[in-house]
Amino acid sequence: MIDADGSRPTRVTRSEGEDSYPAWSPDGDLILYGRDGDLYAIQPDGTGRLRLTRHPAVEAFASWSPDGRRIAFASDRNRDALSYQVYVMEAAGSPARRVTEGRASHVNPVWQPR
């Protein structure tokens, strides 16, 4: 994290490797991010890291629903299509449900405000 003026950079994650595509939860209590092909959530102070997905596929580009109850993300779980599809899961944990179809890749899902 960093202040809007570019000052006070603060490291949130402490793991080695690349943590990518951070997304704040609507209430500001958690940061969702990708790491090693899975999705994680962590508190802004760097504590309480929670692994949300465990799948051999790559999962990334996650975003929170406006109410903070669900997460949409892109994954190549459907390897027969050779493309990324969008999946949705409950933020509290649930099996992911695929919501797009076709051979074209679908990435960077965003939610429409209510």
Q: What is the pLDDT of residues 57-76, one digit of tens each?
A: 899 999 999 999 999 999 99
Which pLDDT tens digit goes with each residue over 7-27?
998 889 988 888 999 999 999
In the predicted model, what is the mean pLDDT of the chain? 90
36-69 burial, b if ≥16 CB within 10 A, otherwise e? eebbbbbeeeeeebeebbeeeeebbbbbbbeeee
Task: State the Cα–Cα distance between residues 21 and 36, nearest whole angstrom.
Answer: 12
**Residue, of 79 and 68, whose pLDDT is higher:** 68
Q: Predicted confidence band at 80 (pLDDT cuts at 50, 70, 90)?
A: low
Q: Predicted confidence band at 1 (pLDDT cuts at 50, 70, 90)?
A: confident
Q: Predicted confidence band at 39 (pLDDT cuts at 50, 70, 90)?
A: very high
Residues 91-105: what's their mean pLDDT?
A: 88
Residues 78-102: what's their mean pLDDT?
A: 86
